[in-house]
Amino acid sequence: MISEEQMQSALSADLQAILRCLNCSSRLTTDNAGGYVCPACKRAYPNVNGIARFVDAQHYAASFGFQWHRYQKTQLDHDQVRESDMNFRWKTALRPEELKGKLVLDVGCGMGRFAEVATNWGARVVGIDLSAAAEVAAKNLAARDFVAFQADVFSLPFAPESFDVIYSVGVLHHTPDCEAAVKTLDKYLKPGGILAVWLYSGYNKWYRFSDFWRRYTSRMKPETLHSILKVAVPVLYNTQQILKKVPLVGRPAAGLVHHVFPVNRQKTAEQRTLDTFDWYSPKYQSKHTYEQVFRWYEAMGMEDMHIGEFSIAVRGRKPLRAK
């Protein structure tokens, strides 16, 4: 049984027209239970817990499923805090007038913080995520012009040239092949549409020690790693704060602790634990340069390229006519 709220988040007819079978690329029809079925090959995409599933499991992204169920609303904006709005601008270089009234794909939507911003700007947003985070996004944004699917960026259930804008923030470097993931999105963009991606920067060498620890932490069960970090993050953060007050040697010593055991330094304890977990848990985490990403965009034939405020943020436009 799915609830009325869940049924309300079913795609409207025009959105349903862009859904395609992963098997045979035929149009999908609804199964009357909030899921989809292919009339040609009969493959089913059931609705489980309020969203249609286009993957059979979370695969390597289970840590994100855990993370976004544990921290469902921590990063959502509210009256006093506009951080997701600000981050969205910095990491995509998109402007509200470019999204208003547009059909937008959020690739790796997580719990939906950036889709919320995009809907605030007047976009109709389809969010996909490989993990069970898609469930959280669907619940968080139930009252908005938003629909979430559990799906893989490498196998998307959409017709070519469906979206006016596609963005992906902090996601594609967590796939086994970031370049292939970026390039696969071109197919789903309408001519004249915008593709904006934000990836981890390869310029910052402070990452090196965390790369060493991640070899071990990414193999832990998410629950175990989270229990360790709930203790370790406050201890390491507070140690740095205390050390900084010691005259002369204090600051270099705090820097050394941060270098060897990097933990997030955001304002609240909850944000610090969330972002440190996000840093140490993923199986895949690649870093990139502007040179690389510009080459990928050029290979796709993108034009009108811009960078955002926060490295590595690149946006470009698909040409109106193939050259």
Ligand X SMILES: C[S@@+](CC[C@H](N)C(=O)[O-])C[C@H]1O[C@@H](n2cnc3c(N)ncnc32)[C@H](O)[C@@H]1O
Which residues of the shown chain bind ligand X in the complex (CB under 6 A)?
A: 61, 64, 68, 108-110, 113-114, 128-131, 133, 152-154, 169-171, 174-175, 278
CA-CA distance, 254 to 246, in Å (whole number)? 10
Shortest distance, position 17 Cβ to ligand X, whole Å: 22
Shortest distance, position 64 Cβ to ligand X, whole Å: 3
Residue 243 or 263: which CB sits closer to ligand X?
263
Shortest distance, position 154 Cβ to ligand X, whole Å: 6
Residue 77 or 161: which CB sits closer to ligand X?
77
Residue 103 or 128: which CB sits closer to ligand X?
128
Residue 169 or 189: which CB sits closer to ligand X?
169
Residue 66 or 237: which CB sits closer to ligand X?
66
Residue 131 or 273: which CB sits closer to ligand X?
131
Q: In what order do the strands lie in the sheet with 29-30?
A: 29-30, 36-37, 44-45
Residue 32 or 268: which CB sits closer to ligand X?
268
First to last CA, the chain: 50
Tokens of 115: 């889709």
Residue 119 or 240: which CB sits closer to ligand X?
119
Shortest distance, position 179 Cβ to ligand X, whole Å: 13
B/e letters for 289-299, b = 16+ CB within 10 Å, e = fewer, are ebebbbebbee
135: alpha, beta or left? (left if phi > 0; alpha if psi -120 to 50): alpha
Shortest distance, position 194 Cβ to ligand X, whole Å: 17
Shortest distance, position 39 Cβ to ligand X, whole Å: 26
Tokens of 27: 């149009």
Shortest distance, position 110 Cβ to ligand X, whole Å: 3
DSSP H stretches of helix in the chain: 4-8, 13-16, 62-70, 83-92, 96-99, 113-120, 133-140, 178-185, 208-217, 222-244, 250-260, 269-280, 290-299
Shortest distance, position 129 Cβ to ligand X, whole Å: 5
Question: Residues 320, 190: contact at Cβ < 8 Å?
Answer: no
Coil, helix or strand for 303? strand
Q: What is the DSSP letter of 206?
A: G
Coil, helix or strand for 268? coil
CA dihedral 25, 107, 215, 203 (to 10 degrees): 130
Shortest distance, position 139 Cβ to ligand X, whole Å: 15
Q: Measure the CA angle with vertex 273, ends 127 and 76; round to 5°.
A: 35
Q: Between the CA of residue 186 and those of 99, 279, 303, what are the distances in Å?
A: 18, 28, 12
- Nearest residue to ligand X by CB is 110
Residue 163 or 254: which CB sits closer to ligand X?
163
CA-CA distance, 169 to 165, in Å (whole number)? 13
